[in-house]
């Protein structure tokens, strides 16, 4: 079946998403949306591992929320919370994103070529084989990985950027792990988080993910893999146990 092309200029998000959903239900595997300007909820709840949606423009909030399988490629920036509670699939963004990127994500991958706003990866979680992954090429703002309960978050600091230079990194983290190229200044670590140099085994674990990220954006992964990384995780197995017992 031929690819479907939709012109989203001056189109409200409701009829736009109705067109997308109907096309996927009719068996369309490739959808290209032009002139996107702030339309929300694109690809939300869609299923289908073999569906690819290309967004030319700037999608609004909650891109790919609850999505389970498709690949979404954005040629532009994206508003807040792309990958919100995403279950499976991949979101590749050739630009930057707003706050709460990958909010509560529970599976699949979100790759952001440039930078993300505040509270990236907040409350990501995982269960058995479901392990969400967020990779950021540039930098992240404050409270990265806040309340993380699972998943994997990597910030590369490309183009000379400091991966994270604001407070609250891993604040309230009780599962999952954050890797940054270089290290985060101790004053920026959040309550309950702990930073250590990444081990050789941990570097081998994130190697294929960094290679896949680089491939997605036409980058050479070799310089990235030569660098030192730090791992930020929960400071203990139950860092907040005393918060749930009588004092």
Q: What is the β-pairing status of strands 175-181 and 149-155?
A: parallel
SS (H, E, C) 199-219: CHHHHHHHHHHHHHHHHHCCC
* pLDDT one-digit tens code per residue, 36-57: 999 999 999 999 999 999 999 9
The overall longest dimension of the chain from CA atoms, in Å, is 64
* pLDDT one-digit tens code per residue, 219-245: 999 999 999 999 999 998 777 777 666
Written as six digits, the tokens of 168 are: 């609250």
CA distance 30 to 4: 6
Torsion of CA 134, 55, 39, 4, to 10 degrees: -130
Q: What is the pLDDT of residue 244?
A: 67
Share of the chain above pLDDT 70, in %: 98
- Beta partners for 36? 57
* pLDDT one-digit tens code per residue, 187-222: 999 999 999 999 999 999 999 999 999 999 999 999
* pLDDT one-digit tens code per residue, 66-90: 999 999 999 999 999 999 999 999 9
> Whole-prediction pTM value?
0.96
CA distance 58 to 39: 8
CA distances from 67 to 48, 112, 227, 238 (A): 9, 17, 34, 31
Average pLDDT over residues 11-29: 97
Q: What is the pLDDT of residue 113?
A: 98
CA distance 205 to 54: 29
- Beta partners for 47? 68
* pLDDT one-digit tens code per residue, 111-160: 999 999 999 999 999 999 899 999 999 999 999 999 999 999 999 999 99
Q: What is the pLDDT of residue 2?
A: 78
């Amino acid at each position: 079946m031929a690819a479907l092309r939709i012109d989203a200029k001056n189109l409200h998000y409701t009829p736009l998403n109705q067109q997308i959903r109907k096309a996927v239900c009719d068996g369309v595997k490739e959808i290209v949306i032009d002139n996107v300007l702030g339309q929300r909820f694109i690809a939300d709840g869609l299923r289908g591992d073999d569906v690819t949606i290309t967004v030319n423009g700037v999608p609004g909030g909650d891109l790919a929320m609850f999505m389970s399988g498709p690949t979404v490629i954005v040629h532009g920036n994206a508003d807040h919370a792309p990958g919100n509670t995403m279950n499976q699939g991949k979101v590749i963004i050739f630009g930057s994103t707003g706050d709460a990127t990958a909010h509560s994500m529970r599976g699949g991958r979100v790759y952001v070529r440039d930078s993300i706003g505040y509270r990236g990866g907040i409350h990501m979680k995982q269960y058995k084989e479901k392990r969400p992954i967020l990779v950021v090429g540039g930098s992240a703002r404050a409270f990265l990985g806040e309340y993380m309960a699972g998943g994997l978050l990597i910030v590369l600091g490309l183009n000379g950027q400091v991966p994270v230079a604001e407070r609250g990194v891993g604040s309230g983290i009780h599962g999952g792990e954050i890797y940054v190229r270089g290290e985060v200044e101790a004053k920026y670590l959040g309550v309950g988080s702990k930073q250590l140099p990444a081990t050789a085994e941990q570097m081998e674990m994130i190697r294929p993910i960094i290679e896949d990220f680089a491939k997605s954006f036409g980058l050479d992964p070799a310089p990235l893999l030569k660098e030192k990384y730090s791992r930020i995780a929960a400071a203990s197995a139950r860092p907040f146990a005393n918060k749930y017992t009588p004092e």
